[in-house]
Amino acid sequence: MARDDILIPPYKTELFAEPIRPEEIAGLPGALDTGLDQVDPVTFSVVHARIEGIMTEMTETILATARNPILHGAKDFTCCLLDTYGASILSMVDCIPVHVGTMSPPLRFIIRAFGDDIREGDVFLNNASYAGNSHVGDFTMFAPIFYEGKIVAWACSKCHLLDIGAHLPTSMDPFAKDIYEEGFHFPGVRLCRDHKPITDLVRFIAYNFRYPQQWHGDFLAQLSSLWVAEARVIELCKRFGYDTFKGCLTESLRYGERAMREEIAKLPKITVTETLKTECFKGYIDEPLEFKMTLTIDPEEGYIDFDYSEMPDQIDFSYNLSYATCRCSAIQGTLPILSPDLPYNSGALDRIRVKQRVGALAGIPRWPVGTEVATVGLNDEVTNLVFKTWAKVLPDRALAGMGEHPAANHTGAGIDPRKNDQPYGHLHYLAASAAGATEGFDGLPHMFGHCIMGNMGYESLEIHEQSLPRIIWEVKAEQDSGGAGKWRGGIAMSHRLQPVDHDMQLIYCGVGHTWPAFGLYGGEGGEVADHWLLDAGTQEIEARLENMGETICRRDQHWYARTGGGGGFGDPLERDPAKVRDDARDGFISLKAAREVYGVVLDTKPELYAVDEAATQALRAEMRAAA
Partner 1 sequence: MKYRISVDVGGTFTDLTIAESETFTQLGSHKSPTTPEDRSVGILNAMTLAAEGLNLTLQELLSQTAVFCHGSTTATNTIIEMSGAKTGLICTRGTKYILWRGEGRRQTMFNYKMEPNKPLIRPYLCREVTERIDAQGNILVPLNEDEVRAEVRQLREWGVEAIAVCTMWSIVNDKHERRIAEIIEEEWPGVDYCISSDIQPIIREYYRTSCVVLNAMLQPKVSRYLRNLQGKLEERGFRGETLIVVSNGGVVPISEVAKKPVFMLFSGPSMAPEAGYYFSEIEGIPNCITVDMGGTSFDVSTVLEGQVTTTKDGRILNYPTGVASIEIATLGAGGGSIATIDKGLIKVGPRSAEAVPGPACYMRGGTEPTVTDAYVVLGYISPEHFLNGRMKIDRDLAVKAVKEHIADPLGISVEDAALGITQVVNENMLGGILDMTIRRGVDPREFALVTGGGATAVPVAFLAREMGIRKIVIPRETSVLCAFGANNAAIAMSEVVSKYSDTGNFDYEGVNAAVAGITGKGSEFLTRMGIAPRDQKFELFVSARYPMQTTELEIPITLDDGKITPAKLDEITEAFHAAYLARYKTNDPASDVEFLMWRNMATFQRPKIVLAERAKSTEATPLSAMLSTSKAYFGGGEAVDMPIYDGDRLQYGMSVPGPALVVLPDTTIVVPPFATLNMRKHGYFVMDVDVDTQQTNARSRKRALAAAG
Site for partner 1 in 38-67 (CB under 8 A): 38-46, 48-50, 53, 57, 61, 63-67
Nearest distance from residue 39's CB to partner 1, in Å? 6
Q: Which of 471, 536, 615, 623 binds partner 1 (CB under 8 A)?
A: 471
Smaller CB separation from partner 1, 235 or 421: 235
Nearest distance from residue 615's CB to partner 1, in Å? 22
At 142, the amino acid letter reads F
Count CA within 13 A, CB hemisphere, residue 116: 13
Q: Point out which span in 21-29, 143-151, 177-185, 447-455 binds partner 1 (CB under 8 A).
A: 447-455
Backbone dihedral region for residue 206 (phi beyond 0: left; psi -120 to 50: alpha; all else: beta):
alpha
What distance in Å separates the CA atoms of residue 302 and residue 266, rounded to the nearest whole number? 10
Q: Which of 355, 476, 554, 555 binds partner 1 (CB under 8 A)?
A: 476
Per-residue contact string for residues 353-392; x = within reach of partner 1 by CB under 8 A: ----------------------------------------
Nearest distance from residue 49's CB to partner 1, in Å? 6
CA–chain centroid gap for 96, Å, is 5
Nearest distance from residue 425's CB to partner 1, in Å? 11
Q: Which of 14, 576, 586, 613 binds partner 1 (CB under 8 A)?
A: 586
What angle (nearest 5°) sits at the alpha carbon of residue 354, between those of residues 351 and 358?
150
Q: What is the dihedral of CA 103, 106, 109, 115, to 10 degrees?
A: -70
Residues 17-36 interacting with partner 1 (rule: CB under 8 A): 36
What distance in Å separates the CA atoms of residue 596 and residue 622, rounded to the nearest whole number? 11
Residues 336-355 interacting with partner 1 (rule: CB under 8 A): 336, 340-342
Q: Point out which span in 317-325, 374-382, 467-475, 510-518 binds partner 1 (CB under 8 A).
A: 467-475
Nearest distance from residue 212's CB to partner 1, in Å? 12
Total residues contacting partner 1 by CB under 8 A comes to 101
Which residue(s) pair with 296 in the sheet?
271, 305
Q: Which of 399, 407, 573, 600 binds partner 1 (CB under 8 A)?
A: 399
Using CB under 8 A as the binding rule, whether residue 475 contacts partner 1 is answered as: yes
Residues 147-206 interacting with partner 1 (rule: CB under 8 A): none
Nearest distance from residue 175's CB to partner 1, in Å? 27
What distance in Å separates the CA atoms of residue 159 and residue 71, rounded to the nearest whole number? 7
Using CB under 8 A as the binding rule, whether residue 565 contacts partner 1 is answered as: no
Using CB under 8 A as the binding rule, whether residue 241 contacts partner 1 is answered as: yes
Residues 81-140 interacting with partner 1 (rule: CB under 8 A): 94-97
C-alpha distance from residue 400 to each of 206, 306, 375 (Å) = 44, 20, 21
At 601, the amino acid letter reads V
Contact 298, 305 (CB under 8 A): yes
Smaller CB separation from partner 1, 12 or 266: 266
Using CB under 8 A as the binding rule, whether residue 417 contacts partner 1 is answered as: no
**Closest listed residue to residue 281, CA positions, set 138, 179, 168, 408:** 408
Smaller CB separation from partner 1, 488 or 595: 488
Smaller CB separation from partner 1, 85 or 429: 429
Contact 144, 116 (CB under 8 A): no
Using CB under 8 A as the binding rule, whether residue 465 contacts partner 1 is answered as: yes
Three-class SS state of 477: strand
Smaller CB separation from partner 1, 281 or 487: 487
What distance in Å separates the CA atoms of residue 146 and residue 120, rounded to the nearest whole number? 6
Instruction: Tell the burial category of 452 from Cβ atoms under 10 Å away from its Cβ (0-12, 13-18, 19+).
Output: buried
Q: Point out which span in 106-114, 148-156, 297-305, 462-470 binds partner 1 (CB under 8 A).
A: 462-470
Smaller CB separation from partner 1, 260 or 484: 260
Q: Point out which span in 8-16, 108-116, 120-128, 444-452 binds partner 1 (CB under 8 A).
A: 444-452
Q: Point out which span in 131-139, 223-231, 512-520, 555-563 binds partner 1 (CB under 8 A).
A: 223-231
Q: Transcribe 67-90 into DSSP letters.
A: -SHHHHTT--EEEEEE-TTSPBPS
Q: Which of 9, 368, 454, 522 binds partner 1 (CB under 8 A)?
A: 454
Q: Which of 34, 296, 467, 514 binds partner 1 (CB under 8 A)?
A: 467
What distance in Å separates the CA atoms of residue 402 and residue 589, rounded to the nearest whole number? 18
Question: Measured over all CA atoms, what is the biggest interatomic distance in the chain, rounded to whole angstroms?
Answer: 81
Per-residue contact string for residues 501-540; x = within reach of partner 1 by CB under 8 A: ----------------------------------------
All residues at 6 or more sequence positions from 594 whose CB lies less than 8 Å from its CB, including other chains = 580, 581, 583, 584, 600, 602
What distance in Å separates the CA atoms of residue 173 and residue 322, rounded to the nearest whole number? 15
Nearest distance from residue 137's CB to partner 1, in Å? 18
Contact 200, 181 (CB under 8 A): no
